[in-house]
Copies of this chain bind each other. A is one copy, B any other.
Amino acid sequence: MKNFTYSISTVVHFGKGQISKLGGEIASRASRVLVVYGGGSIKRNGVYDGAVSQLKEHGIEWVELGGVEPNPRITTVRRGVELCRQNQLDGVLALGGGSVIDCSKAIAAGACYDGDPWDFPAGKAVPEKALPIFTVLTMAATGSEMDNIAVISDMDSNEKLAFGAPACLPSVSILDPTYTCSLPASQTAAGTADIMSHTFENYFSPIETSYLADSMAEAILKACIHYGPKALETPDDYEARANLMWCASWAINGFLDMGKPVAWSVHAIEHELSAFYDITHGVGLAILTPNWMRYVLNDQTEHRFAAYGVNVWGLDPQLPQRELAETAIDKTRAFFNSLGLPTTLREVGIDGEKLPLMAKKARTANFDRTFVPLSEEDILNILKMSL
């Protein structure tokens, strides 16, 4: 295990009705907040009314910023920063999923920064301060409610980039699984793929001396495989929604990569798909992940995929390692398909035209330090396998 610092101070109120704690939590940290949300589903599922009622009850004033995009744009972040400044706001309340929360983080940091907030994703500046961030989560997927990372897109330059800083960790997050019961099946499926992808990215790391972290990752993968289909079959299955929601937070809040040198592969490739074609992140991950697994499977890595097969899929450890590895990858693909997720890029309207350009841009990430280092050509091959 490598040295690390664990510091996740977010207070999480988890469970049905926990929004009743929102007002008190905000009031102890802020008095005027920017309420950030997306397409308006929160006005149908009760989240908006619940939050507003909490704000009123605790005498907290607010200004609203709706219409945050599924891949949140820097233009929206800039609008939010402007609203914070104009109205002298001292907190940001995100009502939504990962996109809304990511956007809120960038706004909260941007409001405390003199330059342009694109400096953060562009790597020109690291946020040192941010307004306190509160979240009411409506989708189990990105884990943004309990980490300090945000991913922001600039559609003019086809860039989708991440940044993170301790200042951007939410102070308080309300995780009520009932809010996710009304999600369309496609989003539940994409969210499950996203959670599993975060887990895979941490699980398949270059070092092997991370038994505890790896066992924890296997626990999350098993829970996703157990509950993903249940949530699709019975959308208001509380246990399924609750387990998926808690899995989402722990897949990416830093817990699974403690003590491991981790550099993510599939996310960096998928970010190019989203940046160029604006497809749903979890869908892109579901298409790419099994192909990435097949591409990096070799004599050196097969025991890792075999262990994944035995510990997560319950395969018979007596089988030959290569067979275990291949079966585990096939099961991964079949599982994503069983959730209704597509297998190919063509199914989501992506043809071969921009693959070389996307491979070139993806390569700017840390592909020298990934589970299996990948060249631009390797990335292009994985994209072609996914066509």
Contact = CB atoms under 8 A, between A and B. Distances in A.
Contacts of A219: 212, 215-216, 218-219
A246 B16 CA distance: 31
A239 B214 CA distance: 13
Interface residues of A, number: 42
Interface string A312-334: 00100100000000000000000
Oligomer copy total: 2
Contact of A212 (B12, B177, B247, B258): B247
Given A209-B239, A212-B223, A219-B216, A12 B16 contact: no
Contact of A5 (B14, B211, B238, B242): B14
A11 B15 contact: no
Contact of A7 (B11, B18, B220, B246): B11
Interface string A204-244: 00000101100110111011001100000000001100110
A59 interface: no
A242 B1 contact: yes
Given A227-B211, A247-B212, A4 B8 contact: no
Interface of A: 1-18, 21, 177, 209, 211-212, 215-216, 218-220, 222-223, 226-227, 238-239, 242-243, 246-247, 258-259, 314, 317
Contact of A16 (B3, B7, B212): B3
Contact of A13 (B5, B218, B220, B243): B5
Contacts of A18: 3
A-B residue pairs, 7 tightest by C-beta: A3-B15, A215-B219, A6-B12, A9-B9, A1-B242, A212-B223, A7-B11
Contacts of A5: 11-14, 21
Contacts of A9: 9
Contacts of A226: 211
A212 B15 CA distance: 15
Contacts of A16: 3
Given A209-B239, A212-B243, A3 B14 contact: yes
18 contacts: A1-B14, A1-B15, A1-B243, A2-B15, A3-B14, A4-B14, A5-B12, A5-B13, A6-B14, A9-B9, A14-B259, A15-B259, A211-B222, A212-B243, A212-B247, A215-B223, A242-B259, A246-B258
Contacts of A15: 1-4, 259
B218 A14 contact: no
A280 to B, nearest CB: 24
Contact of A3 (B11, B17, B314): B17
**Which of the listed residues A21, A215, A247 has the most CB atoms from chain B within 10 Å of its own CB?**
A215
Contacts of A8: 8
Contacts of A17: 3
